[in-house]
Amino acid sequence: MARRDAGSLVSKLRQMSEEGISSFFNEVMSNERLRKGMARAGERFMENKRSFDRNVETVLDFVNIPSKKDVRELKARIDHLSSQLLNLSIKVDRLIAREAPKEKPAAKGGARRRGAAGTQ
């Protein structure tokens, strides 16, 4: 019984919060001045973030620590090399498989001849 009450209470709180958030954003979006202010704040935030990211990348480069971009590029190169190595390995296996049947009969025939030559 208590669990149902708690569940319904949480459900009511969630509904109230969703309605509250919804009404808040409706008010903000209906007010032209607030909407422009929010847009400017968002733009400034993104500009500051880009500037901060550039500064962090510069500092990391200065102390010779790879950035996320460097790590992503290296991973891409390693993935490419791994695929090339796999392709090369498959080709080598095919060549070995082609050559192996040709060598086996020749090796058996050569052993018989030596045995035959040794008995004469």
Query: By the 8 A CB rule, do 24 and 31 touch?
Result: no
Q: What does the buried/exposed string (b/e) look like for 52-73 if buried means 16 or more CB atoms within 10 Å of the residue's CB? A: eeeeeeeeeeeeeeeeeeeeee
Return the half-sphere exposure (C-beta side, CA atoms, 13 A cut-off) of residue 52: 6
The pLDDT assigned to 81 comes to 97
Question: pLDDT tens across 64-116, in order?
Answer: 998 888 899 999 999 999 999 999 999 999 999 988 776 555 555 555 555 55
Q: Spell out the domain ranges in the chain.
A: 66-120
d(CA 60, CA 65): 5
d(CA 22, CA 28): 10
Alpha helices in 1-120 (DSSP H): 2-30, 32-62, 68-119
Question: pLDDT tens across 5-51, in order?
Answer: 667 767 777 777 888 878 877 877 888 888 888 899 999 999 999 99
The pLDDT assigned to 91 comes to 95
Q: What is the CA radius of gyration of the chain?
A: 36
Question: pLDDT tens across 62-76, in order?
Answer: 999 988 888 999 999
